[in-house]
């Protein structure tokens, strides 16, 4: 919502419908957006803003009221699929680090409020992380979380195993390419490499997205806690504003990503990768300049890119809408 020229919520729903976009991510429980979603058939990731974590963690009644106000008041006419309790909280060396102690208690209180209504099988409660929590990401099979974040993440993973909920993860090959274009080729980053680029035992990688995502799969597996699915809760490529951020690079990446995720990854070939593209609209009030240019649509509701979504691509397209957070800076060892 960080733009002064964006369409009204009901108009946004019309854009989703006309483009056959089936799912949405909201970064906070914006009431106008939730009202507009009623009876739309659009499935939703509903965000708990980081600013709400402490209150929900320390007061279970606050969590119950949050769920009543933002979930039960709209369910089932709004098809809430996941609740993302916090976005990109980094437990060490970051402005969000003080919030880390509240993430799991907030998740648990929201989960208990959902469970009390018998909705814990329909609405899964999780959190969204970024790739900076990985200490090693190459080769992907050696993916591991940083030692200094394990005391934060391991209990969350344990909860996810118990609740049967996925870990939401924001995956951006763009930032890895921008920060290391000597070692990462543009074709590898935008799905146009003609050949295998990386070998990892029985697995081969022709694109960076798969390698990054499989590093997360392996990092979870390597904790030994249990099996957890990964949902890609953000991925995108900016069309302007920094190195490698061009219209053509963004168009090629996004078009290929939509096509690619139906086939899973080398470590998870049996299951399409549920993926949400960041973001629905360009936002002219974000900074730095790069952050203004992640949209797949212009604020006037016209497509920025010519490719299609949904049924004509033989799969669903999901978009992040009303974004109130900046995309992460990512590092990759590859």
Residue 65 burial by CB count (10 A; 0-12/13-18/19+): exposed, middle or buried?
A: middle
The token pair at 224 is 């030994």
How far is Cα 195 from Cα 316, in angstroms, rounded to an integer?
27
What phi and psi values does residue 77 have, to the nearest 5 degrees? -70, -25
Q: Which residue has the tokens 């209504």?
A: 117
The catalytically annotated residue of 11, 43, 88, 229 is 88
Q: List 94's β-bridge partners, or say none.
A: none
**Is 229 one of the catalytic residues?**
no
> Is-contact 44 27, C-beta < 8 A?
no
Where helices occur in 180-326 by DSSP H, the ranges are 186-189, 208-223, 247-260
Question: Where do the DSSP E strands lie in 153-268?
Answer: 167-170, 198-200, 203-205, 230-235
The catalytically annotated residue of 229, 234, 316, 321 is 234
**Is 234 one of the catalytic residues?**
yes
Which long-range contacts (C-beta less than 8 Å, at least 24 apart) are formed by 116-119? 116/64, 117/67, 117/72, 119/71, 119/75
Cα within 13 Å of Cα(226), Cβ side: 15
Report, as residue numbers or ranges, the catalytic residues.
88, 234
């Amino acid at each position: 919502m960080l733009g002064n020229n964006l369409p009204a919520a009901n108009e946004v729903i019309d854009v989703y419908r006309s483009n056959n976009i089936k799912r949405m991510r909201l970064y906070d429980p914006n009431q106008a957006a939730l009202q507009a979603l009623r009876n739309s058939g659009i499935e939703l990731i509903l965000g708990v803003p980081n600013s709400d974590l402490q209150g929900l963690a320390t007061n279970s009644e606050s969590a119950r009221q949050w769920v009543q106000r933002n979930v039960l008041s709209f369910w089932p006419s709004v098809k809430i699929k996941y609740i993302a309790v916090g976005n990109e909280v980094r437990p060490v060396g970051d402005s969000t680090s003080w919030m880390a102690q509240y993430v799991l208690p907030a998740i648990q209180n929201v989960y208990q409020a959902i469970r009390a209504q018998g909705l814990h099988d329909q609405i899964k409660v999780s959190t969204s992380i970024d790739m900076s929590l990985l200490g090693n990401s190459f080769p992907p099979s050696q993916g591991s979380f940083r030692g200094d974040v394990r005391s934060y993440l391991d209990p969350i993973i344990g909860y996810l195993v118990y609740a049967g909920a996925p870990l939401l993860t924001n995956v951006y090959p763009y930032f890895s390419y921008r920060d290391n274009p000597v070692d990462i080729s543009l074709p590898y980053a935008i799905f146009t490499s003609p050949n295998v680029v990386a070998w990892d035992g029985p697995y081969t990688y022709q694109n960076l997205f798969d390698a990054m995502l499989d590093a997360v799969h392996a990092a979870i597996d390597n904790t030994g806690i249990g099996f957890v699915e990964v949902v890609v809760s953000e991925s995108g490529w900016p069309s302007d504003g920094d190195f490698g951020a061009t219209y053509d690079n963004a168009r090629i990446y996004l078009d290929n990503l939509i096509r690619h995720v139906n086939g899973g990854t080398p470590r998870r070939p049996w299951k399409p990768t549920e993926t949400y593209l960041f973001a629905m609209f360009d936002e002219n009030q974000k900074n730095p300049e790069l952050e203004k240019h992640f949209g797949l649509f212009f604020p006037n509701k016209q497509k920025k890119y010519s490719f299609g979504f949904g049924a004509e691509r033989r799969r669903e397209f999901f978009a992040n809408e009303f974004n109130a957070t900046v995309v992460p800076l990512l590092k990759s060892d590859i």
